Amino acid sequence: MKNQALWVGAILVLALDRATKYWVMQTLPQGATVPLWPGVFHLTHVTNTGAAFSLLAGTGSTLLSWVSVVVSLGILGYGWLGPVLPAWERWGYGLILGGAMGNGLDRVLRGEVIDFLDLRLIQFPIFNGADIAINLGVACLLWANLRARQSSQA
């Protein structure tokens, strides 16, 4: 199968995202917080109708649902029909795909995204595993681009 790490990464991220969000919904009432490291890191069940860092909150989850669908379909098509990708790109696109699908499913099924990772030490917005995967995926793509530029200059 072409670009296998892309598919494996996406499936792992999506499964982990769905499992952790299900656990949070079953365990913590909305708004509840559990300090794992008081003042530093808590689990806090909140919902977000916006994008990352609550950007575009209240503008309607429909637009963001469509963005998730378009991004997911674009990566699916590129992974399936495009070239065999270098390893860092495969993992990067897989992480982004899994994260986009995880948050996209929340938006389509619930109209909002479940967030619960609360890093209080630096007053960071509450986030979830899909958000982490998307950011790691972008970092992988940036790393792949940097490596490609370095090798083309050598």
- Residues carrying an active site annotation: 115, 131
41: Cα within 13 Å, side-chain hemisphere:
5
User: In whole angstroms, what is the distance from residue 38 CA to residue 72 CA?
Assistant: 37
DSSP 69-92: HHHHHHHHHHHHHSPPPPHHHHHH
The β-bridge partners of 71 are none
The SS3 of residue 66 is helix
Instruction: Provide the phi-psi class of 104: left if phi over 0, else alpha when psi is between -120 and 50, else beta.
Output: alpha
Strand order in the sheet with 41-48: 33-37, 41-48, 113-119
124 Cβ partners below 8 Å, 6+ apart? none
